[in-house]
């Protein structure tokens, strides 16, 4: 059997016997067809023959795209998202669509209509969210790389919980054309892989200006050129606000050990402050929910997606489809967002949140005048139990405390494994200034080469 076809068969054999529920839709036929063309020399490119999974909120021509929601069950897009088109152009073998929190609203991948994804390191725990399917698929060897989307940490959280690498690029670096929007001023498509080299390679392929996306920024760079083992001369800022109440002691120790490691390798470090971080979570959830209430208004079942019963008047039909099609978390966020945007409350909540966002962005701009990158915990804890926060959504939201400021500011961040608490991985994130992906990749790559935390879960 030819080389790449064999690798596809191995990946699908693992998926067949997997307990992770990492995928919503598989495309074995399409994967074998592409792999066969690569084997025959008819297809080439930087990702030729490499298996890549795609989060289910990114449209794929001819392949089911549900956003993890019942309301989009049966929706098959007639076009590829720009990032998917770039994968195909470079010869990637797309294995399928990965599971996610419904409409990317979540920190655990428990709110998917297609059931929760499980963490490869402990099947009783969540993989993180909302790109939990992508993180679990990479960690469980069900693909080599994956695409996720990061709205408030949704690439970095599952990277941390699953012990893999995830990059949230600078806002505007990667096209959002074809990404089903949750909160479009915050979200970016990001690569996930088992090492920094593969993540940088995937970023090389998907980054770049796209005239179809008005938020896309012309900015050329080759990220794999910055896979160098050298942090000499770099100054690492350690924001004190990221080590506050709620951070697990083992996470705290692992992240500080990583900073000490980089110090020994030639980098300097110093404590810095991002004083408006304490307002980030509140501002993030108001902005995200307001944008969600607007973006999800289009899902009415009348043009595509779920249809139920006989049509009556527009209001009744519309309400019944949305009541049945959306899950509880999506309904909660739509209602809160609609309330915050309503007359009399817009200035009190949404406008104030936007002002806070500006202050947070200014915090980052100010601190990067004195340091090259920031180092902080990706998540304040390791992966929690499935169902642990089911009755307390507020406590779930609090888990995003270390990731959402990056999305509000629009700067890049990479999460890499930096230790374990028992058998569960811990992640450290390196945050850069605008378009400073080369610096955070260089820092993460150097750290990765000098540590041994890039391990496989037991049994994989």
Q: How far apart are CA 319 and CA 267, in angstroms?
A: 57
269: left (phi over 0), alpha (psi -120 to 50) or beta: beta
Distance CA 149, CA 188 (A): 5
The CATH code for residues 1-459 is 3.90.1300.10
Q: How far is CA 203 from CA 22, 156, 339, in A?
A: 22, 15, 38
Structural domain spans, the chain:
1-459
Alpha-carbon 176 to chain mean position: 13
How many Å apart are CA 113 and CA 30, to the nearest integer?
Answer: 25
Residues paired with residue 166 on neighbouring β-strands, in sequence order: 192, 415
CA distances (Å), 64 to each of 7, 96, 307, 412, in order? 23, 9, 16, 30
Which structure tokens are listed for 114?
């297609």
- Catalytic member of 7, 18, 55, 160: 55
Active site residue 185: no
pLDDT of residue 304: 73
Is 160 an annotated catalytic residue?
Answer: no
Structure tokens at 136: 């679990």
Of 18, 108, 111, 130, which one is the catalytic site residue? 130
What is the end-to-end Cα distance of the chain in Å, rounded?
A: 23
Beta strands in 292-399, from DSSP E residues, in sequence order: 373-377
Residue-by-residue pLDDT tens, the chain, 460 positions: 689 999 999 999 999 999 999 999 999 999 999 999 999 999 999 999 999 999 999 999 999 999 999 999 999 999 999 999 999 999 999 999 999 999 999 999 999 999 999 999 999 999 999 999 999 999 999 999 999 999 999 999 999 999 999 999 999 999 999 999 999 999 999 999 999 999 999 999 999 999 999 999 999 899 999 999 999 999 999 999 999 888 999 999 999 999 999 999 999 999 999 999 999 999 999 999 999 999 999 898 877 778 887 788 888 888 899 999 999 999 999 999 999 999 999 999 999 999 999 999 999 999 999 999 999 999 999 999 999 987 787 777 888 889 999 999 999 999 999 999 999 999 999 999 999 999 999 999 999 999 999 889 988 8
Pair of tokens at residue 335 = 């209602």
Q: Which of 7, 154, 175, 293 is catalytic?
A: 154
CA atoms of 360 and 341, how far apart (whole Å): 22
Q: How many CB atoms lie within 10 A of CB 460?
A: 13
Per the annotation, the verdict on 130 as an active-site residue is yes
- Would the pTM count as exceeding 0.95? yes
């Amino acid at each position: 059997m030819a080389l790449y076809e064999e690798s596809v068969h191995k990946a699908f054999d693992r998926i067949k016997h997997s307990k992770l529920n990492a995928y919503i839709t598989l495309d074995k036929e399409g994967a074998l067809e592409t792999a066969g063309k690569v084997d025959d020399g008819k297809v080439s490119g930087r990702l030729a023959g490499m298996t890549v999974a795609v989060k289910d909120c990114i449209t794929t021509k001819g392949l089911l795209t549900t956003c993890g929601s019942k309301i989009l069950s049966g929706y098959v897009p007639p076009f590829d998202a720009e990032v998917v088109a770039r994968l195909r152009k470079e010869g990637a073998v797309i294995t399928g669509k990965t599971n996610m929190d419904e409409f990317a609203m979540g920190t655990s991948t428990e709110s998917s209509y297609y059931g929760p994804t499980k963490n490869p390191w402990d099947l009783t725990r969540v993989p993180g969210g909302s790109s939990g399917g992508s993180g679990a698929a990479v960690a469980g060897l069900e693909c080599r790389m994956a695409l996720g989307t990061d709205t408030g940490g949704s690439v970095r959280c599952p990277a941390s919980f699953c012990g893999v690498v995830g990059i949230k690029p600078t806002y505007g670096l990667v096209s959002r054309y074809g990404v089903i929007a949750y909160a479009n001023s915050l979200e970016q498509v990001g690569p996930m892989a088992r090492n920094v080299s593969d993540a940088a390679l995937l970023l090389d392929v998907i980054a770049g200006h796209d005239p179809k996306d008005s938020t896309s920024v012309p900015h050329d760079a080759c990220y794999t050129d910055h896979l160098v083992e050298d942090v000499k001369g770099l100054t690492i800022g350690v924001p004190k606000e990221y080590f506050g109440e709620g951070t697990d002691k083992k996470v705290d120790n692992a992240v500080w050990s990583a900073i000490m490691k980089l110090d020994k390798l030639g980098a300097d470090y110093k404590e810095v402050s991002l004083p408006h971080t304490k307002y980030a979570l509140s501002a993030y959830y108001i902005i995200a929910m307001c944008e969600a209430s607007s973006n999800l208004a289009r899902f009415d079942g009348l043009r595509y997606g779920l249809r139920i019963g006989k049509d009556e008047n527009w209001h009744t039909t519309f309400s019944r489809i949305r009541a049945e099609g959306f899950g509880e978390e999506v309904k909660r966020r739509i209602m809160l967002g609609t309330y915050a945007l309503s007359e009399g409350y817009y200035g009190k909540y949404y406008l104030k949140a936007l002002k806070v966002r500006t202050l947070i962005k200014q915090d980052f701009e100010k601190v990067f005048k004195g340091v090259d990158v920031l180092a902080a915990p990706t998540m304040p804890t390791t992966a929690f139990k499935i169902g642990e926060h089911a009755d307390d959504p507020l406590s779930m939201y609090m888990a995003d405390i270390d990731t959402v400021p990056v999305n509000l500011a629009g700067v890049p961040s990479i999460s890499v494994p930096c230790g374990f608490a028992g058998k569960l991985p811990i992640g450290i994130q390196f945050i850069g200034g605008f378009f400073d992906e080369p610096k955070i990749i260089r820092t993460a790559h150097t750290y990765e080469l000098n540590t041994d935390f890039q391990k496989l879960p037991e049994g994989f």
